[in-house]
Amino acid sequence: MDPAENEPTPMENKETDSYSMLEPRMKRVYAAFYKELYRTPERRALDPKVQELISVAVSLAVRCEGCLDGHLKKAIALGATREEISETLSISAAISAAAVVDLSDKAARRLGLRLFSTTEKQD
């Protein structure tokens, strides 16, 4: 049995002072999105552990400490190994760096710059 199915929604399992700035009506639609995404075993396409690893990677990228703690704990509870977590973290770091390189390539094209040839050898 998938332990995630028995997990409370984000709304329920946080300390009691969570979502304290959200009106009940907004909490409801926010929770509905989360529930459809993470807690619908009958419709879900991704493995719960994979969902949690994706959540960890994005939490790191968008600097959400609360999200990171929660999804890291769930990923581990669902059996994520330390090597899987290391790769997840590494992908988040790699894409964050790649975003900078990608933007530099686009600027090079816009400006007609070609500082280094791709076949060039150096050193």
Range 32-91, binding its own copies (CB under 8 A)? 32-34, 36-37, 40, 43-46, 50-51, 53-55, 57-69, 71-73, 76, 81-91
Name the minimum Å distance from CB 119 to its own copies: 8
Per rule CB under 8 A, count of chain residues that contact its own copies: 89
Assigned token pair, 92:
């988040």
Q: Should residue 30 be labelled a site residue for its own copies when binding is judged by CB under 8 A?
A: yes
Positions 100 through 119 that interact with its own copies (CB under 8 A)? 100-111, 113-118
CB closer to its own copies out of 72 and 78: 72
Name the minimum Å distance from CB 102 to its own copies: 4
Q: To 5 degrees, how large is the angle CA 68–CA 71–CA 73? A: 100
Crossing angle of the two packed helices 48-61 and 24-38, in degrees rounded to 10? 130
On whether the CB atoms of residues 40 and 4 are closer than 8 A, the answer is no
CB burial class (10 A; 0-12, 13-18, 19+) of residue 44? Answer: middle
